[in-house]
Structure 1
Amino acid sequence: MTGLFALIVLGGLFAFVLFWKKRTVKKIGDPLLVKELIKKYSPFNFLFKFLLVVVCLTAIIFGAANLQRPGAEEAVSRKGIDVMIAMDVSRSMLADDIKPNRLERARQLIYKLIEKFPDDRIGLVVFAGHAYLQMPLTTDHAAARMYVQQANPGIVAAQGTVISEALRVSTKAFNSKDRKFKSIILITDGEDHDEQAIPLAQQIASEGVMVNTVGIGSPEGSPILDTSTHDFKKDASGNTVISKLNETELQALAGATNGIYIRLSEPDQAVAALDAQLSQIEKTASGDNTLREYTSYFQWFIALALLFLITEFFYPERSLSYHPFKI
């Protein structure tokens, strides 16, 4: 649509220039004198130069569209598990008892997990006061990295740490017909006690889901920076709020589903422990992915546009039969 609009604008400019030239000729005066003055001017050449510009712009538009011809398909078989990552993005994750802060350290962990599990389908749930499916299960790990990078407290309006809702949303993302091949990696400081989390974990464990929990933070806690005031968050009494890691609940969640609990210190160590744990889950082969080779033609259109642009630049607007040095 943008390209079509550009062509319409170009046509309008051409019509305006023609109108302006005719009006200017009339203003000069004697028609015979004007005719003599512009006898070397060629209306045909002017039109031809405009058409060259139109073809050049059209070629650029087609080049930008990157026209492709599909080639042969190749079936790709992957053998892995489905991993839903439930990422806490509440404001307490901005506490800096783990440098640079809990949220950034969680991102670092997830990036390494994505690299470690190239054949697994990965999905992302973000949660605070509510939980949302940010990305369904996919093997597009580049997209997963993008969604993780964008995760921050601002994308969830309600604050809190609703672990049970995060587990529920994550479980719904799995194929309900499979009773294995599934795991949830819950990354949170577990600050708010969620009474529904343990019973729900026991329920989804019976459906073949393993929950592994990763604790972010320290039991001693840390104040939370309020990004709107650039000061530490305070309670109703004016006291600085200290966010503490709730290890007890996270350990109980993992234990209820035969998973493991890890307090995050170094991402590499956490990834190694999670890899060892997930390797116990039976993997399934998925052959629903295909690779298709595509032949692109954008370079031909760009070359054509360059050719016509050079031609238009050197093509004269005066009549080709006119020789200025002819005696």
Structure 2
Amino acid sequence: MFRFGNPEYLWLFFAMPLLLAVYIYLNIRKRKDVQKLGNLSTLKMMMPELSLKRSYLKFWLIFAALCAGIFMIARPQFGTKVETVEKEGIELVIAIDVSNSMLAEDVSPNRLARAKQILSRLIDLRRNDKVALIVFAGEAYVQMPLTSDTQSAKIFLNTIDPNLVPIQGTAIGQAISLGMSCFSGDQEMSKAMVIITDGEDHGGSAVDIAAEAAKAGVMINLVGIGSPDGSPIPATEYGSNFMTDSEGNVVVSRLNEQMAMEIAQSGGGFYVRADNSNSAVRALETQLDELQTGKTTSLTYSEYDEKFSMLAWIILVILVLEILFYDKKNPLFRNVRVFK
């Protein structure tokens, strides 16, 4: 595929016919002025070193350089450019709770939407890390394996909703266990997990599993989202009715900060509650910056490869040739009949 990065500069080609017309007009005037001095054939005999064809050639070289220059500033691009980039970061597994309780609206616009905003901001800040993405409710699933392509992580993050996990619940322990399997065997890179949840764990083993992860060198951090006072859960993501239990009472979901803090403490990390500010992101960034980084290489792809440098070399060659050609015949090449 071929395109111009700045096609608006191609409009300059409309000025080239005007430049050519001005050059022809000036040459006609010059010829008439010379004819006033006498017959052209006689004048040529009086100036044997003069070569009109050389002056014409110099003009066309300049004209060609200008045309190539217009193409160059329009930035021709084609093909796919592949680069090997060396980064220095950590391995980071992000686990996000997608249970129905995450639809509660005690944070704006709701817990799940706010969680995705926080994680999107965190991914932007951790662009040198390798990132994996896990979703969990009653079960946990790998949404994206460990990769240095953090932009893909943001794309996957935007697609997350409660329908991804059919079994309801908040299996934080299973999410930690699955996250452990996502890490590589690279011992030089620090490893950490960030779990964002409302803390209503239904598994009961998350504290013990977090302790095992800490022994394996993985730091477990929790971000609590929601309010300890609780909030009703909408029956649908965009509905106005609320979920009820078997007795018809409205279900109220409360942030379990005590359990979240216990998991984080057992996992050697820290706990922070998310609100409508960026304080949770700043706290996470500070915590993760303290970890030892390691070097990793990855391939990056860009859809178009810049080719203006090729035109720059062509322009340079043209201008050098224009300088080398004299307006008059060179005595060193008197017998060379390139220009008669």
Task: Please confirm whether the aligned pair reaches a TM-score higher than 0.5, indicating the same fold.
Answer: yes
* Counterpart pick for 1:98 among 102, 107, 125: 107
**1:153 equivalent in structure 2:** 162
* Counterpart pick for 1:171 among 180, 195, 217: 180
**1:305 equivalent in structure 2:** none
Q: Name the CA distance, whole Å, in 2 between partners of 1:293 and 1:192.
A: 44
Residue 116 of structure 1 deviates from its aligned partner by 0.8
8 Å contact from structure 1 (residues 193, 249) kept in 2: no
Query: CA, structure 1 residues 239+261, in 2 after alignment: closer, same or farther (shift >3 Å)?
Result: same
Q: Name the CA distance, whole Å, in 1 between partners of 2:302 and 2:196.
A: 36
1:18-56 deviations in whole A, cap 9, x for unaligned?
xxxxxxxxxxxxxxxxxxxxxxxxxxxxxxxxxxxxxxx
Residue 141 of structure 1 deviates from its aligned partner by 2.0
* Counterpart pick for 1:136 among 138, 145, 155: 145
Residue 172 of structure 1 deviates from its aligned partner by 0.5
Q: Name the CA distance, whole Å, in 2 between partners of 1:282 and 1:295.
A: 35
Residue 86 (str. 1) matches residue 95 (str. 2): yes
Secondary structure of 2:114's counterpart equals: helix
Task: For 2:96, give the aligned amino acid.
Answer: M
Secondary structure of 2:88's counterpart equals: strand
**1:325 equivalent in structure 2:** none
Residue 237 (str. 1) matches residue 247 (str. 2): yes
RMSD across aligned C-alpha pairs, in angstroms? 2.3
Secondary structure of 2:212's counterpart equals: helix
Secondary structure of 1:114's counterpart equals: helix
8 Å contact from structure 2 (residues 105, 111) kept in 1: yes
Task: For 1:242, give the aligned amino acid.
Answer: V
Secondary structure of 1:260's counterpart equals: strand
Residue 142 of structure 1 deviates from its aligned partner by 2.0
Q: Name the CA distance, whole Å, in 1 between partners of 2:91 and 2:291.
A: 10
* Counterpart pick for 2:133 among 104, 124, 134: 124
1:210-246 deviations in whole A, cap 9, x for unaligned?
0110001011100000118752111111111100001
**2:263 equivalent in structure 1:** 253
What is the correspondence of 1:222-233 to structure 2 with a 5 Å cutoff? 222-227=231-236, 230-233=240-243
**2:286 equivalent in structure 1:** 276
- Compute the TM-score of the two structures, normalised by the length of structure 2: 0.63
Task: For 1:285, give the aligned amino acid.
Answer: K
Secondary structure of 1:124's counterpart equals: strand
Secondary structure of 1:226's counterpart equals: coil
8 Å contact from structure 2 (residues 80, 303) kept in 1: yes
Q: Name the CA distance, whole Å, in 2 between partners of 1:179 and 1:285.
A: 8
Residue 272 of structure 1 deviates from its aligned partner by 0.9
8 Å contact from structure 1 (residues 250, 261) kept in 2: yes
Task: For 1:273, give the aligned amino acid.
Answer: A
Secondary structure of 1:110's counterpart equals: helix
> Unaligned regions of 5+ residues in structure 2, if any?
1-77, 308-340
Task: For 1:268, give the aligned amino acid.
Answer: N
Larger Rg: 2
Task: For 1:129, give the aligned amino acid.
Answer: G
Secondary structure of 1:225's counterpart equals: coil
Q: Name the CA distance, whole Å, in 2 between partners of 1:294 and 1:95.
A: 44
Count matched residues: 230
**1:209 equivalent in structure 2:** 218
